[in-house]
Structure 1
Amino acid sequence: MAAKTVSGSPSKTLIIICLVLNICCSILIVLVNKWIYTHYGFPNITLTCIHFIVTTIGLLICYQMDLFQPKRLPVISMLPLALTFCGFVVFTNLSLETNTVGTYQLIKTMTTPCIMFIQTYFYRKSFTNKVKFTVVPIAVGVFLNSFYDVKFNLIGIMFATIGVIVTSLYQVWVGEKQSEFQVNSMQLLLYQAPLSACLLLFVIPVFERLPNPQTFLTAWPLEVILMVLFSGVVAFSVNLSIFWIIGNTSPVTYNMVGHLKFCLTLLGGYVLFHDSLQFLQVLGIFTTLAGIIAYTHLKMEESRKPMLPSAENGRAEKKNII
């Protein structure tokens, strides 16, 4: 189904296509969800649960179309992945609720160094100093963009910090589980999506049903239902591309794509909706882009290096490319 190189790894063209698809779908889902939240106040975690239900249905349709073959996996081993996803959703929402957007974005940039730390000390992955230093201009760029909106409070920092740790674990485990069980993105997501949806059903009453019981008694108009279903279809593309990108590149690369989406969203808001941009924000965007470009350049240089002679080292190099 996918273009491959001689060694069996995805071609660079396919990787670029999937990165572009992820960026486009991620920006689209932000716009769709913003419309749903702004105009109708649809509950956030409930929408995420629906996303995973639609993703599960989409994967079953793909199976019926012979696009992939399911592989039996131990459910107990998949629970940590599903739990960290739920934690990521909950603590991200709590961080947004208790912090300003600027503070939220600033602390969120710590996800990349946190992933590097986890992979280095728990999974024996290595990063060159040059790659590590690309995180600096990205963090500085986000800080410059958020300068006027950064305000700290103890509870907000606590939620944001837990969110960063849980998100980092989730993204690392997406890649590790694919490697551990020798499965592709569809095979892994077929287990994680329904598990996460079931776990979120226990979270929804606490975070959404109890605080706002009237929300669940609302008779939603047809246009909202259609937009929610459309959002679910886009979420299916986003979820699948996330798993594919992390499984075939790395969690750090996916995070770099996330920073790029952040910059493109700001620039798109300025171009399409005439949102105001201060000088520091523009400087921050270009500083962040400089870090992303530097990271991309370094990883492309690494990918040009000859493969190591031993099979074990060859596999290690292949796994760490991009």
Structure 2
Amino acid sequence: MADGEDIQPLICDNGTGMVKMTKLAIIPFTIVLETIFLNKKFSQTIKASLMVLLLGVGIASVTDLQLNLLRSIMAMLTIAATCVGQILTNQIQRRLKVSSTQLLYQSSPYQSAVLLVTGPFVDKLLTKRDVFAFSYTTQVVAFILLSCSIAVCVNFSTFLVIGTTSPVTYQVLGHVKTCLVLSFGYIILKDPFSARNVVGILIAIFGMGLYSYYSVVESRKKTEAASSLPVAAQVILN
């Protein structure tokens, strides 16, 4: 649920272009949904900085884009599920005034039950393999448990970041991760790196800087406006 990564393998065969395009589309869709259903306003500066960020990440990471009907359907479902899930995560924490730990504790059993029922069926439908027919060794089970533990940590951090900031900010952090993965892949693993990757990462970093700056400025303005309300109210009353 965190940033669509749980469902992304379903739309990725040999290339990852469609997966990366799906991740790029989450921010615009989130803005559209919050604007329509929550009447949330995004300034032109915030939108412009996000466009610069998405342009940079797209240049740096999207290379082998391949479209077909199944991938397109799974991509749209991924985008919708991720956007709605993250928006609800933010709204529930703010409206009910619960912590990320409390929300994760209450929602995890339901998420696990849905995945337990639908997961094997969907997996067999898409991969033509039955998870129950697999031979589970001690090593495999150990890695499954390790993967589950990491997933719990990811979900906890997701709920914490989204509840404290916003779904859009969380997606921006996700693109920071993409840039770091590309950079460390080149530095540590000596992955192929072109001028296009460098330019894309630099543009993305510039967009992130703009988004961070304008977010802080707007947050400060809102705080100052909120603190000045009681004074204005007193003046009106007098």
> Shorter-chain TM-score: which interval?
0.7 to 0.9
1:65-214 pair list within 5 angstroms: 85=1, 91-97=7-13, 100-209=15-124, 211-213=128-130
The 5 A counterparts of 1:1-322 are 85=1, 91-97=7-13, 100-209=15-124, 211-213=128-130, 215-305=131-221, 306-308=224-226, 309-310=228-229
Q: Is contact 1:131–1:298 with CA below 8 Å preserved after alignment?
A: yes
Contact 2:11 2:19 in 1 (8 A): yes
> Does the Cα contact within 8 Å between 1:119 and 1:125 map onto a contact in 2?
yes
Change (3 A) 1:92 1:284: same
List structure 1 segments (4+ residues) > 6 angstroms apart after TM superposition.
Answer: none
SS of the residue corresponding to residue 173 of structure 2 reads helix
Assess if the C-alpha contact under 8 Å between 1:106 and 1:146 holds in 2.
Answer: no
Contact 1:144/1:280 (8 A) holds in 2: yes
Q: Deviations over 1:78-128 (max 9, x none)?
A: xxxxxxx49x5775333224x831232023211111111111111121111
Given that 1:95 and 1:160 are in contact with CA atoms closer than 8 Å, whether structure 2 keeps it comes out as yes
Give the 3 Å change call, closer, same or farther, for CA 163–140 of structure 1 in structure 2: same
Calculate the aligned-residue CA RMSD, in Å.
2.3
- Give the secondary-structure state (helix, strand or coil) at the position aligned to 1:163: helix
Deviation digits for residues 179-200 of structure 1 (CA, Å, limit 9, x no counterpart): 2322111111112111011001
Aligned residues: 224
Residue by residue, what CA displacement relative to the aligned partner does 1:26-48 show, whole Å, maximum 9, x if unpaired?
Answer: xxxxxxxxxxxxxxxxxxxxxxx
Partners of 2:108 and 2:188 in 1: CA distance:
34
SS at match of 1:258: helix
CA contact (8 A) 1:95 1:163 kept: no
Structure 2 counterpart SS, 1:109: helix
Partner SS state of residue 9, structure 2: helix
Q: Deviations over 1:236-293 (max 9, x none)?
A: 2211111011111111110000000011011111112111112112211221121111
> Match of 1:108, as an amino acid?
K
Aligned AA for 1:162? L
Q: Residue 270 and residue 219 in structure 1: after superposition, are their counterparts in 2 closer, same or farther (change >3 A)? A: same
Unaligned 5+ runs, structure 2: 231-238
| Alpha-carbon contact 1:135-1:291 (below 8 Å) kept | yes
Please state how far the C-alpha of 1:203 moved relative to its aligned partner.
1.2
Q: Comparing both chains, which one has the higher relative contact order based on Cα–Cα distances under 8 Å and sequence gaps of 6 or more? A: 2
1:150 Cα offset (Å): 2.0
CA distance in 1 between partners of 2:62 and 2:82 (Å):
24
Question: Could you tell me how far 1:298 is from its partner in structure 2?
Answer: 1.0
1:280 to 1:232, Cα distance in 2 relative to 1, 3 A: same
Q: Which one is further off, 274-283 or 100-109?
A: 100-109
Q: 2:236: which partner in 1?
A: none
Q: Hey, what does 1:12 align to over in structure 2?
A: none
Q: Bigger radius of gyration, 1 or 2?
A: 2
User: In 2, Cα distance between the equivalents of 1:108 and 1:238?
Assistant: 17
5+ unaligned residues in a row in structure 1: which ranges? Answer: 1-84, 312-322
AA aligned opposite 1:212: R
Cα distance between partner residues in 1 of 2:182 and 2:61: 12
